[in-house]
């Protein structure tokens, strides 16, 4: 369902469950974080990430059904922290969290690695490093292609085109001045 961008449905299902049921299931809890973030709802995400970390640290009761997803939670938590930092405008922290995802994610976790690359691309682009942003999106698209996330590939391709357009515009005469060209 995530591949076909049905996060709103996932969110509805998870929000229909009692919150105390979701919070002791770290995979579901982080799944809800993803659904919330994808629908533009960021309030409460940090608390949910903290709950998931406590489960990982063994300091909370938890229920785990999907061991594979459970093992990928450290990277997922870092990924959402990178996104929160990016939204807050803290580019260095966003980059640090995204790089941590790449350290934690196995080579074959193309979705997590692609998401981290996209966050690095967005942080670089936002910070004005267009070439680094473009190259990060190239890496992102390559990862997403391996897992068939077509909607995300298209979105990243649009970002890549925007970056190239921005780069071309900044290379034109008078683009670096505040006054219009006279020709």
Quote the pTM value. 0.84
Q: What is the pLDDT of residues 37-88, one digit of tens each?
A: 988 889 999 999 999 999 888 777 888 888 888 888 999 999 999 999 999 9
State the number of CA atoms in the 13 A half-sphere of 4 facing the CB: 4
6 pLDDT band, cuts 50/70/90, is low
Instruction: Write b or e for each residue in 101-125: b if 16 or more Cβ atoms lie within 10 A of its Cβ, otherwise e.
Output: bbebbeeebbbbbbbbbbbbbbbbb
pLDDT of residue 119: 97
Q: Does the pLDDT at position 174 exceed 80? A: no
- Top-confidence residue, 172 or 104: 104
Q: What is the pLDDT of residues 103-134, one digit of tens each?
A: 999 999 999 999 999 999 999 999 999 999 99
Q: Does the pLDDT at position 152 exceed 70? A: yes
In angstroms, rounded to a whole number, what is the distance separating the alpha carbons of residues 16 and 142? 36
2 pLDDT band, cuts 50/70/90, is low
């Amino acid at each position: 369902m995530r591949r076909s961008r049905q996060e709103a449905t996932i969110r509805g299902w998870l929000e229909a469950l009692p919150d105390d049921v979701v919070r002791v299931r770290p995979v579901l809890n982080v799944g809800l974080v993803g659904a919330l973030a994808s629908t533009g709802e960021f309030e409460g995400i940090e608390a949910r990430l903290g709950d998931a970390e406590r489960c990982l640290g063994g300091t909370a009761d938890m229920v785990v059904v999907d061991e594979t997803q459970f093992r990928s939670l450290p990277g997922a938590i870092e990924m959402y922290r990178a996104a929160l930092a990016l939204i807050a405008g803290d580019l260095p922290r966003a980059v640090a969290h995204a790089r941590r995802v790449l350290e934690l994610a196995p080579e074959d976790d193309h979705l997590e690695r692609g998401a981290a690359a996209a966050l690095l691309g967005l942080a670089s682009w936002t910070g004005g490093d267009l070439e680094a942003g473009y190259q990060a999106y190239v890496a992102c698209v390559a990862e997403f292609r391996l897992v068939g996330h077509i909607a995300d590939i298209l979105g990243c391709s649009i970002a890549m085109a925007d970056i190239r357009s921005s780069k071309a515009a900044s290379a034109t005469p008078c683009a670096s001045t505040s006054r219009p060209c006279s020709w």
